[in-house]
Amino acid sequence: MAMNSLNPVALPMLRLTGVTKRFGTHAAVTDISLDINRGEILGIIGRSGAGKSTLIRCINGLEKPDSGRIEILDPDEQLQDIVPLGERALQKIRGRIGMVFQHFNLLSSKTVADNIALPLKIAGRARAERKARVAELLSLVGLEAKADTYPAQLSGGQKQRVGIARALAAQPALLLSDEATSALDPETTTSILGLLKDINRKLGVTILLITHEMAVIRSISDRVVVLDQGRIVEQGATDRVFADPQSDIAKRLLAAAQLGLETF
């Protein structure tokens, strides 16, 4: 295809090289190198405190790594290192990355529609355009009837749908999901993961999700990276890691997941 002839070696959506971040003397993440390919769903799994959140916050520049490179594919198909960027340049980059949070982080003072429109407002889009895009997104996440509702009146699953719609508003190429289903019950988790899979397939959005639940990884990600004490201890295709886990931590997380499945 034309794109491939211009780019004989396909560039990844995101490339981390030797990313290290310390808080005081505590090393949160150490020497993380990782490619996230365009259009894939990559899961990063680890127990709490493994450095997952720090890593994801480094990727959109909410935290600055102490060393290493974080390169993101820009609209000109070039990898751009965001680590040396200042706050203003980072704000532009963040506009191209969507983020979904464990506790939704919706603004209680804004209606569902205004929450979803906020990234567009920040991007300086005109009111009419925002309105049209919000209507599109509401129908994508199946909440057309809730446009003028305030988040407090929604269920957890509905709140996360709003969170996802908001994250997609500015048409990001990359979606970061920080434990997006961890506050939800199993049934709602399944429907939210289904929605994320749909978005990945229909819109071609690359998804990086972090979780502590193996079940989430199994149902959605193409590839999995296992993080322990801030380091990558294992990575590979999801099927392979599930069939034949190499690291202790992957084995343990898997055992916990199987235990969990039995109780459901």
Partner 1 sequence: MTFDLPYGALLNALWQTLAMTFASGALGFIFGLPLGLILVATAADGIWPYPWLNRVLGAIVNAFRSLPFIILLVALIPLTRLIIGTSIGTAAAIVPLTVSAIPYFGRVAEVALREVDGNLIDAVRAMGGNRWTIVREVLVPEALPSLVAGFTVTLVLLIGASAMAGAVGAGGLGDLAIRYGYQRFETGVMIAVIVVLIALVSLIQAIGDRVARFFDHR
Count residues binding partner 1 (CB under 8 A): 29
Which structure tokens are listed for 183? 């506050």
Q: Does 150 bind partner 1 (CB under 8 A)?
A: yes
Candidate list 3, 152, 243, 259; residue touching partner 1; CB under 8 A: 152
According to DSSP, the residues that pair with 176 across neighbouring strands are 99, 208
Cβ(207)–Cβ(196) below 8 Å: yes
According to DSSP, the residues that pair with 27 across neighbouring strands are 22
Pick the closest to residue 63 from 89, 82, 78 (CA basis): 82
Determine the Cα–Cα distance for residues 94 and 118; give it in Å rounded to an integer.
13
Candidate list 12, 39, 49, 95; residue touching partner 1; CB under 8 A: 95
Q: Does 156 bind partner 1 (CB under 8 A)?
A: no
Stretch that binds partner 1, among 90-98, 137-145, 213-221, 241-249 (CB under 8 A): 90-98
Based on CB atoms, which residue is closest to partner 1, 121 or 201? 121
| Min CB(100)–partner 1 separation in Å | 10
Q: What is the 3-state secondary structure of 65-108?
A: CCEEEEEEECCCCCEEECCCCCHHHHHHHHCCEEEEECCCCCCC
Cβ(130)–Cβ(181) below 8 Å: no
DSSP state of 152: G
Which structure tokens are listed for 172? 């990001």
CB-based burial label for 133 (10 Å; 0-12, 13-18, 19+): buried
Q: Does 91 bind partner 1 (CB under 8 A)?
A: yes
| Min CB(105)–partner 1 separation in Å | 4
Q: CA-based Rg of the chain, rounded to a whole angstrom?
A: 18
Candidate list 94, 130, 133, 159; residue touching partner 1; CB under 8 A: 94
Cβ(32)–Cβ(18) below 8 Å: yes
Stretch that binds partner 1, among 26-34, 93-101, 135-143, 212-220 (CB under 8 A): 93-101
Stretch that binds partner 1, among 22-30, 38-46, 97-105, 193-201 (CB under 8 A): 97-105
Contact positions with partner 1 (CB under 8 A) in 168-207: 170
| Min CB(174)–partner 1 separation in Å | 12
Q: Does 54 bind partner 1 (CB under 8 A)?
A: no
Could you list the residues that contact partner 1 (CB under 8 A)?
60, 62, 87-88, 91-95, 97, 99, 101, 103, 105-110, 118-119, 121-123, 150-152, 166, 170
